[in-house]
Amino acid sequence: MEWTVVVGRYSPPGEPQPKGVPGVPYKAPYDKAPPKTYQTFKVDLPEHAMVLDALIAVREYQDESLAVRCACRSAICGSCAMWVNGHARLVCTSKLREHTVGGKVTVEAPPSMPIVRDLVCDMTPFWNKNRAVTPWLENKQPIPQGEEYRVPNAAMEELIQEVSCISCGACLMDCESFAVNQNFVGPAALAKAYRYTADPRDAETQDRLGNYSKPDGVWDCTHCYECVQQCPKGVAPLEQILKLRKMAVDSGFTHNAGTRHADAFAESVRDSGRLNELTLLPKSVGLFNIPAQIQSLPAAFNLLRAGKLPPLIHHAIPHVERIKNIFKKIGGRFK
Amino acid sequence: MIVDYDVIVLGAGLAGMRAALEAARNGASVAVLSKVHPVRSHSGAAQGGINAAIGEGDSWEIHALDTIKGSDYLADQDAVEIMCSEAPSDIIELEHMGVIFYRAPDGRLGTRAFGGASKARTYFVGDITGQALLYTLYDQLLKSGVKVYEEWFATSLFMVGGECRGVVALDMMNGDLVLLRAKAVFVASGGMGRVYEPSTNALICTGDGIALAYRAGAPVMDMEMVQYHPTTLKGSGFLMTEAARGEGAYLLNSLGERFMEKYAPNMKELASRDVVSRAEWQEIAAGRGVDGCVLLDLRHLGPDVILKKLPQIHEMALDFLSIDMIQQPVPVRPGMHYIMGGIKTDSDARTPIPGLYAAGEVACVSVHGGNRLGANSLLDTLVFGRRGGKSSAAYVKTVTSLPSDAAGEQFLASEQERVQALMDRPTTGETHAKLRLELGILMDEKVGVYRDEAGLQRALAAVHDLQERYETVAVRDKGRIYNQALTFALELGYMLDCAEATILGALDRKESRGAQSRTDYPQRDDANWLKHILITKRDGQAPAISYLPVTITKWPPQERKY
């Protein structure tokens, strides 16, 4: 049957330019990405065909100059993540049938990454982030002589979720935190960080947790769940990030804005049954961190102007003692 | 531009990364060059596991005998002895590097059963063993600081006075051709699956390294030995791991019979791959197939085993056929999967050309002979990658100087001219895609599970015709940056060389052994054919055939029964 594929084309200046309809500039935070031109192709493929099948058909029989990375065609090599209708997808396992909306499917390089050509983006930011988490085993000593480390199978199974990661980068492409902070270590790299931190054979657990607790690390994730939703292999990077946070706090890495922010949430809910937004910011940046608090004044002023400033006097909800009991029952740092 | 190293490794799969690590450990300056990022390499697609005789009641001798029997006695037994006896320490080393192998209840490494093996000796990580190994080695490569040239496409080996002294490669990001000069080049660029259509192999498996070495005068060996995997998914041809049968899955025909009971009464579904593929072919030919396939039935294994130990193939059957293997059997057929042949090397990865090394699927040591056992290929990459890394690092210490800049620049200029001529061809020529498809279908039809003289002669004539037409293939992309039309056209040239050598070997071997099943010579003929076929191409001449005896150490050839 006939499918319609709209492909975002781009060639750097000085190269032969693809034909197509000029696209509109991207909105913030992607406004630094160069606008593309969009070219419509019709391809004849079976009903169950994938988006990648369509791109290959275009490249083989209609336009040899279409650049697209792919190798295995079966969600193993991780080459072909890109935007499909505005969301990061692995095109080799994205069915045309499921992604055709209003008679067409739109495919393009994600504007969150530097672009090389057409559907090929520059994955350097992704690889650099991976490199930044010390992604290798630092062996616990002594290394057993002539035999394996003895560890329970459950400890290995705990890591297989991350080991299933194929580095396609879909999580980073749609990560909302990365979109506004290019230095955020990002979902895949932090999942990898968990994989080695939680490995019972690794000796650097403490150092790792300290490093990952620094700015741009685990606490910079905003829980938007894009990475969980876009991951084609069920890695669920956010889940691994949350596990790292817990390990870090349990190991005493609490002197950072992330932990203070989480603590301020918990304390406020424990003490009043709801969030005290007025104290959240000072508690997060540190009560005596006057420069950071002054920096936030313009934002506070904007909130005031828009009528969004929280009430100055914070009231507890009725029967707040029941909430306190819940905290007691759960135990841990806030009982 | 010219860059210098001691060792350049071509390809960044398991063999390449293992070789690079070992050469670097032995003091060589090393760079890895690959047309894709290392973790995109096809080693990552290996699902089932990696063999080693570690457990009680097993021994490397039993592993070696299984391997030799599986090879239909074409493997060189000295090389098999090395691979099987060194396997345990290589597995332990992988574990120390961080591979999350499946554990037995006592916390030690646990195994699963695999085809052609008389003991359960396959170590694994779910059904993503290749991926788990590939990433662990990549992590180790990052730790080592070895330079990786990602998305650099090799166009030729730099040969000076019969010695290999580097490689010319295209930097795909900017279109520059660069000469990387080196005292040794280590080819580890994998197989040539795409010469066949369909194939379980990734689109990048185009025999680049085999053709580059072949063009440089290195002999290729046992190229006729092409493995068809018994369980590839209907339609797409994707791999359904042998681990499914290792875990206990059945193969059924249209009558619901476990037909392997007829063909291999002892091993049944776990006979070696050539045996099972032929049995499937015969069932289908006898009208007991299901729409050109047989059925792989996992239902009795239960959801727990399927979801925990075989999650990836469960997902693939869902994605590509909308079949849930927990509920329904999966249609599979024999599909091209692996080549046992390749660049001829010794057990230290040396080719007969000074300065040229090879390991992994690209090479032929030979440890797989006429048929490779499942879970022996990952082992092959690691053992011979490591050994070759060490021997190449020792070799480069004996090389005192590199060819002159002038020689380098002259060679680079001639390569630039050749590539430019390809770019400048009139756009009226044929497309690489059309020729590729014709080649693939031809090879699957005429040089597949069963072969005969007439079919092979037709295939050879057809490949010669394709080679002629190849001279007119146009590159319709005139850009410099990420020009895949150019690299695909170059790959097609490599593929045609590989196809020709495969057919020549198949025509020459007038017997049936391992993966070579000649309907006109149905018997194994040890008196005449217990030997390797080598094919060598010298400048401007037709390929020449020569032979080497098979090395037999302890296991004289016997009739093969499963």
Q: For residue A77, list chain B residues with Cβ-Cβ distance below 8 A.
A: 36, 39-42, 44-45, 202
pLDDT digits (tens, 9 = 90+) for A222-271: 999 999 999 999 999 999 999 999 999 999 999 998 999 989 999 999 99
Average pLDDT over residues B275-291: 95
- Structure token pair of residue B537: 């191409």
Specify the pTM: 0.95
Tell me: pLDDT of A281 over 90: no
Residue A297: per-residue pLDDT: 84
Q: Could you list the active site residues of B?
A: 229, 245
Tell me: pLDDT of B281 over 80: yes
CA atoms within 13 A on the CB side of A96: 23
Which region holds residue B274: left if phi is over 0, alpha if psi is between -120 and 50, else beta? alpha
DSSP B55-75: STT--HHHHHHHHHHHTTT-S
Pick the CATH number of A124-250 from 3.40.30.10, 1.20.1090.10, 1.10.1060.10, 3.90.76.10: 1.10.1060.10
B253, B248, B242: which is closest to B331 by C-alpha?
B253
Residue in B95, B238, B479 nearest the CB of A65:
B479
Residue B3: per-residue pLDDT: 86
Closest Cα in chain A, distance from residue B150 (Å): 11
Residue in A75, A77, A196 nearest the CB of B40:
A77
pLDDT digits (tens, 9 = 90+) for B413-424: 999 999 999 999
Average pLDDT over residues B272-294: 95
- Structure token pair of residue B225: 């030995």
Element (H, E) at B411: helix B405-423
pLDDT digits (tens, 9 = 90+) for B162-205: 999 999 999 999 999 999 999 999 999 999 999 999 999 999 99
| pLDDT > 70: percent of chain B | 100
Quickly count: other Cβ atoms within 10 Å of residue B471's Cβ: 11
Which residue type is seen at A22? P
Residue B88: per-residue pLDDT: 98
Contact (Cβ atoms closer than 8 angstroms) between residue B194 and residue B495: yes
Average pLDDT over residues A202-207: 97
Q: Strand pairing partners for B123?
A: B50, B111
- ipTM (interface predicted TM): 0.95
Q: For chain B, what are the domain ranges?
A: 2-225+338-396, 231-334, 412-520
Question: What is residue B333's three-state secondary structure?
Answer: strand
Closest Cα in chain A, distance from residue B74 (Å): 31
Residue B392: per-residue pLDDT: 98
Average pLDDT over residues A319-334: 88
Q: For chain A, what are the domain ranges?
A: 2-121, 124-250, 258-334
Burial of B468 (0-12, 13-18, 19+ CB in 10 A): exposed
B45 with A148: Cβ contact below 8 A: no
DSSP A273-324: SS--HHHHHHHHH-TT-HHHHHHTHHHHHHHHHTT-PPPSS--PPTTHHHHH
Name the pairing type of β-strands A81-84 and A37-44.
unpaired
pLDDT digits (tens, 9 = 90+) for B346-365: 999 999 999 999 999 999 99
Share the mean pLDDT of chain B. 96
What whole-number distance in Å separates Cα of residue B382 and Cα of residue B16? 9
What whole-number distance in Å separates Cα of residue B427 and Cα of residue A64? 11
Tell me: pLDDT of A284 over 90: no
In degrees and rounded to multiples of 5, residue B183 shows phi and psi of -75, -25
Residue A300: per-residue pLDDT: 82
Residue A331: per-residue pLDDT: 81
> CB pairs below 8 Å between A and B: how many?
160
B102 with A153: Cβ contact below 8 A: yes
pLDDT digits (tens, 9 = 90+) for A137-168: 999 999 999 999 999 999 999 999 999 999 99
A147 with B478: Cβ contact below 8 A: no
Omega into A200 within 30° of 0, i.e. cis? no
pLDDT band (50, 70, 90) for residue A112: very high
Homologous superfamily, domain B2-225+338-396: FAD/NAD(P)-binding domain (3.50.50.60)
pLDDT digits (tens, 9 = 90+) for B28-57: 999 999 999 999 999 999 998 999 999 999
Which residue type is seen at A46? P
What whole-number distance in Å separates Cα of residue B496 and Cα of residue A268? 71
Does the domain spanning A2-121 belong to CATH 3.10.20.30? Answer: yes
Residue of A nearest to B96 (CA): A148
Contact (Cβ atoms closer than 8 angstroms) between residue B35 and residue B155: no
Q: Strand pairing partners for B336?
A: B199, B228
pLDDT digits (tens, 9 = 90+) for B443-464: 999 999 999 999 999 999 999 9
Q: Where are the alpha helices (DSSP H) in B397-478?
A: 405-423, 432-446, 453-470
Contact (Cβ atoms closer than 8 angstroms) between residue B165 and residue B355: yes
**CATH class belonging to B412-520:** mainly alpha
What whole-number distance in Å separates Cα of residue B286 and Cα of residue B254? 11
Residue A95: per-residue pLDDT: 96
Residue A125: per-residue pLDDT: 98
A65 with B485: Cβ contact below 8 A: yes
Element (H, E) at B322: none
Give A 139-178 residues with CB within 8 A of chain B: 139, 143-144, 146-153, 156-157, 159-160, 163-164, 166-167
pLDDT digits (tens, 9 = 90+) for B156-167: 999 999 999 999
What whole-number distance in Å separates Cα of residue B318 and Cα of residue B335? 19
Domain B231-334 belongs to what topology?
A: Flavocytochrome C3; Chain A, domain 1 (3.90.700)
Tell me: pLDDT of A279 over 90: no
Contact (Cβ atoms closer than 8 angstroms) between residue B371 and residue B353: no
Which residue type is seen at B239? L
Instruction: Give the rounded distance of the alpha carbon of B280 from its chain centre.
Output: 23
Tell me: pLDDT of A335 over 80: no
Query: Is the torsion defined by CA of B112, B117, B121, B125 positive or negative?
Result: negative
Tell me: pLDDT of A292 over 90: no
B208, B484, B491, B492, best to mutate vs chain A, most A CBs in 10 Å: B484
In degrees and rounded to multiples of 5, residue B44 shows phi and psi of -65, -15
Residue A311: per-residue pLDDT: 80
Question: What is residue B335's three-state secondary structure?
Answer: strand
Which region holds residue A86: left if phi is over 0, alpha if psi is between -120 and 50, else beta? left
Beta-sheet strands, E only, within B279-328: 294-297
- Among A146-160, A295-309, B329-343, B371-385, the minimum mean pLDDT is found in A295-309
A193, A190, A192, A249: which is closest to A220 by C-alpha?
A190
The 8-class DSSP code of residue A262 comes to H
Tell me: pLDDT of B258 over 80: yes
Residue of A nearest to B93 (CA): A148
pLDDT digits (tens, 9 = 90+) for A68-98: 999 999 999 999 999 999 999 999 999 999 9
- Structure token pair of residue B336: 């091209």
A172, A162, A232: which is closest to A195 by C-alpha?
A162
Question: What is residue A168's three-state secondary structure?
Answer: coil
pLDDT band (50, 70, 90) for residue A314: confident
| Angle formed by the axes of helices B405-423 and B484-508, nearest 10° | 100
Average pLDDT over residues B360-389: 97
B101 with A156: Cβ contact below 8 A: yes
pLDDT band (50, 70, 90) for residue A291: confident
**A60 Cβ under 8 Å from any chain B Cβ:** yes
- Structure token pair of residue B22: 């070992």
Question: If you search the block for the tokens 């042949």, which residue do you land on?
Answer: B341
What whole-number distance in Å separates Cα of residue B105 and Cα of residue B241? 24
Closest Cα in chain B, distance from residue A182 (Å): 22
pLDDT band (50, 70, 90) for residue B437: very high
Tell me: pLDDT of B155 over 90: yes
Contact (Cβ atoms closer than 8 angstroms) between residue B294 and residue B333: yes
Residue A326: per-residue pLDDT: 92
Residue A22: per-residue pLDDT: 95
Domains B2-225+338-396 and B412-520 share a fold: no
Which region holds residue B108: left if phi is over 0, alpha if psi is between -120 and 50, else beta? beta
pLDDT band (50, 70, 90) for residue B406: very high
Domains A2-121 and A124-250 share a fold: no
Contact (Cβ atoms closer than 8 angstroms) between residue A138 and residue A203: yes
B131 with A74: Cβ contact below 8 A: no
A103, A1, A129: which is closest to A57 by C-alpha?
A1
